[in-house]
Structure 1
Amino acid sequence: MLNAAFWIALLVMVLGTAGTLLPVVPGTPLIFLSALGYAYYEGFNQITPLILGILFSLMVITLLIDYFAGVLGAKKYGATKYGTWGSFIGGILGVIIFSIPGLLLGPFVGAVTGELLGGRQAEEAVKVGLGSFVGLAGGALFKVIFAVAMIMIFISGVF
């Protein structure tokens, strides 16, 4: 029979999965910390240091994806350094100023603005902006996949 600590940890992990898409919830760090808390509670017998190491590694990968997905998407679509920096800065400012809409639009607007300031034509700048958005969407998909994998690893450790 599973105890309340397992169900609480699992609930927090589900919230963490939602956090991979919402900027106000820390996503995979929340999943990792929940697993760590449960491991401590149960004496590291079910959730071992090896499992925690795997979960930590997956968390770090998702954080890197989070920071670089939009930039890599912009680069793939031909961004110059202006578009790359614009995407990065736009993503940060977008989240700070406009929350969820800013998360979606900030890298796009930043990449387009950066490319226009760098002297590119509007059509090329928009293409780079779309690349930034595609990278961001792809990154979000990978973060959700990694979050679900982290939860599955946790559950398999418990059982």
Structure 2
Amino acid sequence: MLILYWILVLVMLVGIIGAVVPAVPGSSLILGAILVWGIVNGFSELGWAVGAAIAVLLLSVGVDLLSAYLGAQQAGASRWGQIGAIIGFVFGFFGFLPALPFGGPLLGILIGPLLGAMIGEFLYRKDLEFEARIKLAFRAAIGIVVGTFVGNLIQGLLALACVVVFLVTTWPL
């Protein structure tokens, strides 16, 4: 039983990393590990841990959307820039960025939203001169990426809090 406990704690640590790093499962790994422990050991001692994990999972989704939106809004991005960032994320994740022969999906996830947001903003701002469009597109893209990065850091803190709650409620074994 002790070996399973520490394996699940390691899975949760990967979940904390995944809450911060795109393309790695985060809060769902933590919730899954807590549920496995509950199934094996009984849910009586896990009331707070399961509640915290579910709350973190729901908050993570909200933080993700809100942080990217606020970053975009702060930088003056349009919906085109936001949609471009999402499309860039998908293209980057699945490796459809031909200019990236190295780095795999992780690098694509970092560069894809930036390029997508820039392209979306550039296409939206047709009324401006070329240099002004480039400058505005770059500023909007940086805003979206910074917002997403801040959101990922908040998700990491939420995930860490969830794991701490699990450890506190189950430590005496």
Tell whether the structures are fold-level matches, with TM greater than 0.5: yes
Q: Could you tell me whether the CA contact under 8 Å between 1:74 and 1:87 is conserved in 2?
A: no
- Which residue is equivalent to 1:34? 33
Give 1:72 deviation, angstroms.
3.4
Give 1:156 deviation, angstroms.
1.3
Instruction: Return closer, same or farther for 1:54/1:21 CA change in 2, 3 Å cut-off.
Output: closer
- Which residue is equivalent to 1:9? 8
The structure 2 residue matched to 1:107, chosen from 113, 138, 155, is 113
Q: Could you tell me whether the CA contact under 8 Å between 2:92 and 2:107 is conserved in 1?
A: yes
1:151 equivalent in alignment to 2:163: yes
Instruction: Return closer, same or farther for 1:45/1:156 CA change in 2, 3 Å cut-off.
Output: same
Classify the secondary structure of the residue corresponding to 2:51.
helix
The structure 2 residue matched to 1:59, chosen from 57, 60, 73, is 57
Q: How many residues align?
A: 157
- Which residue is equivalent to 2:72? 74
In structure 1, give the amino acid aligned to 2:158.
Answer: F
- Which residue is equivalent to 1:138? 150
Aligned equivalents of 2:23 and 2:84: distance in 1? 22
Deviations 1:90-117 (A, max 9, x none): 1222222251112111111111100111
Q: Could you tell me whether the CA contact under 8 Å between 2:34 and 2:49 is conserved in 1?
A: no
Aligned equivalents of 2:92 and 2:67: distance in 1? 15
Question: Structure 2: 5+ residue runs without aligned partners?
Answer: 96-103
Question: Structure 1: 5+ residue runs without aligned partners?
Answer: none
Give 1:63 deviation, angstroms.
2.9
In structure 2, give the amino acid aligned to 1:136.
Answer: T
Deviations 1:33-64 (A, max 9, x none): 0011101111112212x431221111122133
Superposed structure 1 runs of 4+ greater than 6 Å apart:
none
RMSD: 1.9
TM-score (normalised: structure 1)? 0.88
Instruction: Return closer, same or farther for 1:143/1:57 CA change in 2, 3 Å cut-off.
Output: same
Aligned equivalents of 1:47 and 1:78: distance in 2? 44
- Which residue is equivalent to 2:91? 93
Aligned equivalents of 1:45 and 1:18: distance in 2? 28
Give 1:8 deviation, angstroms.
1.4
The alignment-based identity, stated in percent, is 29
Aligned equivalents of 1:64 and 1:90: distance in 2? 20
In structure 2, give the amino acid aligned to 1:29.
Answer: S
Q: Could you tell me whether the CA contact under 8 Å between 1:23 and 1:99 is conserved in 2?
A: no
Larger radius of gyration: 2
